Amino acid sequence: MEYDLHCHTKYSFDCRMEPRRVVEIARRRGLRGLAITDHDTVAGAMDALQYQDENFLIIPGFEKTTEAGDILGLFMTEAPDPKLKDPFAVVEFIHTRGGLAIMPHPFAYRVTIGKELVKCLDGIEGFNARYPRTQVPGIAFGTDEIVEFARANNLRVTCSSDSHDYGAIARARTVIPAEIPEEIKEAIRRGNTVMAPPPPSAVDRIASKIGEAAKRLLGPSEPPPTLWEGGPRLGDDDEPRPEGG
């Protein structure tokens, strides 16, 4: 079964999509269900639940802004106070209510995740269609490196569209051999998932060829040491950058 585990609606500040149409389009594109994860609210998910039926599942959730980047709360019917920015408190809020804490687009704007925070997360997005590569200048970092990081830190990986417009819905999917919410949740916890990103675009292929040529000429570039050591907890030494993803 294919699911899109990160979608937005008009209840996010940067999206205008109607929940009803989001569900309609997701059905037409062959999804078995999707997670509605609006910024700092579950209002979109609660709205979308009325369009759920035995053939299509809505996974309610939110995308919470924190000092260490955004955190998805999946299988959640309430969101924490918008003023709460401590990532550890957000993860605790999610876990005490039976949800999963997933970090979306984990390296979109940074190349470190605090080691202690990594231990608290259930997983990270191995592929995010909105941010398929890091936006950090001078760093070549994409899906392969994220998956390697996840394996090294015992994190599960998901694959999502992060859709903010109708065209992006279902662009990236997570294959999960389950249809019931509790079984889907358990499959993600066990890592019984398969990423289904879109095929690379012409731009992606050109960028890959350029990267290969650069490696041949200059040699492989070493990833920043803090990436693999967990790095400093963002918010202590780094000025956080709003992601809005």
**Is residue 53 a contact partner of residue 24, using CB atoms and an 8 Å limit?**
no
Please state the rounded mean pLDDT for residues 38-63.
98
Is the pTM higher than 0.75? The answer reads yes
| Sign (positive or negative) of CA dihedral 97, 123, 103, 66 | positive
Please state the rounded mean pLDDT for residues 217-244.
42
pLDDT tens per residue across span 132-161: 888 777 776 788 889 999 999 999 999 999
| Spans of all domains in the chain | 2-229
Higher pLDDT, 119 or 245: 119
Nearest CA-CA partner of 120 in 85, 148, 95, 150: 95
| CA–CA separation, 21 and 176 (whole Å) | 24
pLDDT at 213: 62
pLDDT at 225: 36
Lowest-pLDDT range of 15-19, 146-150, 183-187: 146-150
Please state the rounded mean pLDDT for residues 212-225.
52
The backbone torsions φ and ψ at residue 196, rounded to the nearest 5 degrees and listed phi first, read -130, 75
| CA–CA separation, 115 and 106 (whole Å) | 13
Lowest-pLDDT range of 38-47, 114-123, 233-242: 233-242
From residue 56, alpha-carbon distances to 72, 153, 209, 235 in Å are 21, 33, 40, 39
pLDDT tens per residue across span 66-125: 999 999 999 999 999 999 999 999 999 999 999 999 999 998 887 778 999 999 999 999
Read off the pLDDT band of 199 (50, 70, 90): confident
Assess whether pLDDT exceeds 50 at residue 241: no
What dotted CATH number matches 2-229? 3.20.20.140
pLDDT at 232: 31
Read off the pLDDT band of 25 (50, 70, 90): very high
pLDDT at 159: 97
The rounded mean pLDDT for the chain is 86
Look up residue 221 and give its DSSP letter: P
Higher pLDDT, 201 or 118: 118
